[in-house]
Copies of this chain bind each other. A is one copy, B any other.
Amino acid sequence: MNPSHSSNDCISSDKVEGTSVYNAGGDKLGSIDDLVIDKHSGQVRYAVLEFGGFLGMGTDRYPLPWNMLKYDTVKEGYVVPIDAATLEKAPHYTDGDMPAYTMDYNQKVNRHYGMDS
C-alpha cells in the first residue's frame, strides 16, 4: 500500500492485524482487527477497523477498502483519509456479527467512501 514498495514487498496478515490506524490529522482511530478476502481471487478487499467500546468491550468493526490505507513508516501505522463524520456514518457491525460481504454490501461500503464498486 506504500507506493515505495515494490509489488514483491509482502507483509504477514499476523502483522497487519493489530496495526494502528490514524486519520489524516494524526488522531488514532483504532486498529486493524481482520481482513476480508475475495475467496476466488485472493484479493484483500477490506481491512476491518476496530474501534470504540470500553476496554475492548463493545467495539465496532468498520470495513475499510484496502486501497484507502497508506502505511506511515513514522507512525508505524496506517493513515486513512476519512473524517470523523464520514466514519461515524459508515457501514459497521459488532464483533461476532459479521455480515455477508455480498456484492450489495461491498457496493454499500465502497460507495460510502466514494469509491467505485
Contact = CB atoms under 8 A, between A and B. Distances in A.
Interface of A: 1-3, 5-14, 16-17, 34-46, 48, 66-67, 71, 98, 101-103, 106
Contact of A1 (B3, B42, B45): B42
B98 A39 contact: no
Nearest to A98: B12
A1 B39 contact: yes
The list of the 10 closest CB pairs from A to B, nearest first, reads: A10-B101, A13-B35, A42-B44, A8-B103, A42-B66, A5-B39, A10-B36, A13-B13, A5-B40, A11-B39
A64 to B, nearest CB: 12
This chain: how many copies in the complex?
2
A11 B13 CA distance: 14
Contact of A102 (B8, B39, B106): B8
A61 to B, nearest CB: 10
Nearest to A10: B101
Contact of A40 (B1, B98, B101, B103): B1
